[in-house]
Amino acid sequence: MIGWIESQSVAAIAFLVFGFCYALAAVVLAAGMAVAARPIAASLKATTPTMLTPVSLIAGLLMAFLATRVWTNLDRANTLVAQEASAIRESSLLANALPGDARDTLKGSIHTYLGFVEAEDFPAMAANRASLRPPPGLTDAMSALLAFSPAGPGQQVIQQRAVAAVERALEARRSRVLLSRTAISSVQWLVIVILDALILLIIAMVHVDRCITTAVNLFIFSTAIAACLVLLMVNDRPFAAGGFTVQPSALRELANE
C-alpha cells in the first residue's frame, strides 16, 4: 500500500496523505463528541496536557531520524549518477586516444550502455526490479580494453585509466541499484501512524468538553503531521516512479553528444 502511494505524483500523494490524516482526526473528534455527555468524560478530562510532551517527542525524534536518512539517500543518489556520468565521460575521452578498432569498439559499447540506462535500467529501478547483473555495454567495454594490446607506454597508460574509469562506472551503477531498493519500511510507517493516533486521542481527551477547541487542535496537528509525511514520501525513494525522482540527465547528455 505504501509503495503504491509513493509511486503516485506529488499532488496525488499529498491528496491521499492529507485525506487520511483528516479522516483519522474526524474519527477521533466524532468519538470525543460521542463520550462528551457521558460520565466517562470527567475521567478523560483529568488527562494532563503534559502527556503530549513525551509522545510528541518520540514522534518528532522518529520523523527526524527518518528525514535525515531520506535526505542522505537523495543526496547520495544524485552523487552516484554524477559519478557514473563522470566515469563514462572519462572512458569515452580516453577511447579517442586508442587505435581505430579499439576506439570504435569502446565507443560503441559505451553508447550501448547509455541506451540501456535510459530505456531499461532507470525504468527497472522505478519498478523496484533492477538487477545487479553486469549491464550490457560496460561488460563489452571492459572485455575490449582487457583484450587490447598497447603498442607503447602511452597506450598502456590510456588502457589502465580507461579500465579504471569503466570499473568506477560499474561500481557507481551497482551502488545506484542497491540504493533504489532502500525505503522507509512498513513497520516504521505504522509506528508513525500509531503515534499520530495517540496524540490525537490525548488532544481529544484534554478538550473532551470543548468541541470547537478539540476540532481546531486536531485540524492543526493533522495538517502538521500530514505535511511531514508528504515530505518524507515524495523523497523516500529517489529512483521511484512517483514523488521527486532522480533522472539520468547527466547520462542522457552523454548519449546525445
pLDDT tens digit string along 49-77? 888 889 999 999 999 999 999 999 999 99
175-201 confidence digits (pLDDT tens): 999 999 888 888 999 999 999 999 999
Mean predicted confidence (pLDDT) in 134-140: 89
Q: What is the pLDDT of residues 87-104, one digit of tens each?
A: 999 998 888 888 878 888
Cell numbers placing 165: 574509469
Quote the pLDDT of residue 70: 92
* Domain residue ranges in the chain: 2-256
- One-letter amino acid at 222 equals S
| Three cell numbers, residue 45 | 478530562
CB 17 within 8 A of CB 4: no
Whole-structure pTM over 0.95, yes or no? no
DSSP element (H, E) containing 61: helix 52-95
- Cα 250 to Cα 11, 87, 169, 253: the distances in Å are 27, 11, 13, 5
Instruction: Grade residue 257 by pLDDT with cuts at 50, 70 and 90.
Output: low
Q: Sorting pLDDT into bands at 50, 70 and 90, what band is 239?
A: confident
